[in-house]
Amino acid sequence: MATKAVKRAFKYRFYPNPEQAAELARTFGCVRLVYNMALAARTQAWTLRQERVNYNATSAMLTGWKKTGELAFLNDVSSVPLQQVLRHLQAAFTNFFARRARYPTFKSKKKSRRSAEYTTSAFRWRDGKLTLAKMAAPLNIVWSRPLPEGVAPSTVTVSRDAAGRWFVSLLCDDVIEQTPTSGVVGIDAGLDSLLTLSTGEKIVNPRHERRDRAALARAQRALARKEKGSNNRAKARLKVARIHARITDRRRDHLHKLTTRLVRENQTIVIEDLTVRNMVKNRSLARAISDAAWRQFRTLLEYKTDWHGRTLLVTDRWFPSSKLCSTCGALAERMPLNVRTWTCRCGTVHDRDVNAARNILAAGQAERACGEGVRPQRGNLRSGQPTVKQENPRATTGIPSL
């Protein structure tokens, strides 16, 4: 059986004691400060002198800052998270220069993620207990699921979210056994349901979704009414943050379970490329899955198919999946959004979304059949290119069913 070595993150909540909470709050503050100062230095060097400052140069700056009187407090926290944030800044610049990302921005006190990353020299892992540098006691971690047998973390990231919850993420080396399967599935971003599979199955939002959204809207209205700078406003903001956290947690959980199942059951998975479709207003308003959820779904599928030796195919963004009859291949002329079932000239009665999912599956398989040996499918996927040949986009623009 084939195996694959992967880096896998395991995330848990933990409850720091008061000293640990204070130490981490200090560390988060120093991490943010060092990041912002290094970003400012790099920006200045570039705009004034067209000089590129690399990681080593910022690391030397950090050593200098620690020796000055007003920044001596940087010596009080572990130096590793400070070095790590400089490495992250380096990665952000690499992505920027490769045109993969925007120019890095400053970390704001209120909005940025509070986190600190520790590598092996800055924590001790013994008998299933994790102790961070500058701390006497191990972290009180809630092991909601066990770490796999014999696995040890190589990097540890501690964070605190806007709702005030503490998390620790353990990055571990793990080995995955790849068991081939024969299933194939096409997936459509449905109009009424979250996702529709070519098997006819419809996947809906988690049960609590609607109630959570209503609660969020209420909490946001309440927050807007509170006086700026007041205690009540702070409380209302925390409430909004808590509901937000609950919604994103549940969504992630749902998508994790769903993608795990899809990858376990299927050797080949075909999805649509929705990036351009989102510009077509009607479609984006009508779709049940949000853009954020779709991106998350795709990201999860990308790494899980890779881990388990499966194939993920992405069909062309202009492929008319809704209007094509999956039985006879005839193209319907119009397919307004309110049409949920339709009858083709060949007599087949279609559920709109199931028909689309079947077409997506067929398009992916057809492309793979003619693309065999020409280019590796996963290579295409990584570069974000559609794997099905692009038709002239003009042929389909302006048709509301797309």
| Least Cβ distance, residue 327 to Zn ion (angstroms) | 5
Please tell me whether residue 346 binds Zn ion under the rule CB under 5 A: yes
CB of 402 to Zn ion, least distance (A): 19
Q: Which of 272, 306, 316, 367 is catalytic?
A: 272
Q: Is 306 annotated in the active site?
A: no
> CB under 5 A: which stretch of 56-64, 107-115, 336-344, 355-363 binds Zn ion?
336-344
Q: Which is nearer to Zn ion, 314 or 357 (CB)?
A: 357
Our finding on whether 328 is near Zn ion (CB under 5 A) is yes
Residue type, 155: T
* Residue 286 Cβ vs Zn ion, minimum distance, rounded to whole Å: 23
Q: How many CB atoms lie within 10 A of CB 96?
A: 13
The nearer residue to Zn ion, 328 or 366, going by C-beta atoms, is 328
Give helix 209-225 / helix 231-265 axis angle, nearest 10°: 160
Residues 344, 357, 388, 402: which binds Zn ion (CB under 5 A)? 344
- C-beta of 323: minimal distance to Zn ion in Å? 11
Q: How many helices (H) and strands (E) does the chain have?
A: 9, 13
Residues 6+ away with beta carbon under 8 Å from 67 = none
| β-pair type (195-197, 2-13) | unpaired
Phi, psi of 304 (to 5 degrees): -70, -40
Q: How many CB atoms are located within 10 Å of the residue 10 CB?
A: 18
- DSSP class of residue 104 equals P
3-state percent breakdown (helix, strand, coil) of the chain, nearest 5: 45, 20, 35
Q: Which of the stretches 99-107, 247-255, 278-286, 346-354 binds Zn ion when contact is defined by CB under 5 A?
A: 346-354
One character per residue 284-323, x = contact with Zn ion (rule: CB under 5 A)? ----------------------------------------
116 versus 325: smaller Cβ distance to Zn ion: 325
- The bridge status of strand 153-160 relative to strand 114-119 is antiparallel
Q: Kindly state whether residue 362 participates in binding Zn ion, applying the rule CB under 5 A.
A: no
Interface region with Zn ion, contact rule CB under 5 A, candidates 118-126, 130-138, 152-160, 330-338: 330-338
Find the largest Cα–Cα distance for the chain: 82
**Shortest approach of Zn ion to residue 347 CB, angstroms?**
7
**H or E stretch including 114?**
strand 114-119
For residues 297, 300, 303, 306, the Cα torsion angle rounded to the nearest 10 degrees is: -60
Q: 152 or 346, CB closer to Zn ion? A: 346
Residue whose CB is less far from Zn ion, 43 or 327: 327
Question: Which listed residue (43, 169, 267, 327) binds Zn ion by CB under 5 A?
Answer: 327
The question of whether 353 is a catalytic residue gets the answer yes
State which residue, 224 or 328, has the beta carbon closest to Zn ion.
Answer: 328
Cα–Cα nearest to 320, from 360, 377, 287, 288 = 360
- Please report how close the Cβ of residue 357 comes to Zn ion at its closest, in angstroms: 16
- Cα-based distances in Å from 132 to 121, 122, 125, 140, 168: 10, 6, 9, 12, 11
Q: Contact between 274 and Zn ion (CB under 5 A)?
A: no
Span from 217-225, 278-286, 332-340, 347-355 in contact with Zn ion (CB under 5 A): 347-355
Residue 201 is a catalytic residue? no
DSSP label of 386: -
Burial of 240 from C-beta contacts in 10 A (0-12 / 13-18 / 19+): buried
Out of 74, 219, 240, 325, name the contact with Zn ion by CB under 5 A.
325
Among the listed residues 23, 188, 273, 306, the single catalytic one is 188
Report the residue number, 293 or 332, with the smaller CB distance to Zn ion.
Answer: 332
- Cα(293)–Cα(82) distance, integer angstroms: 32
Give the shortest CB-342-to-Zn ion separation in angstroms.
Answer: 10
Annotated catalytic residues are 188, 272, 353
The site for Zn ion (CB under 5 A) is made up of: 325, 327-328, 330, 344, 346, 348
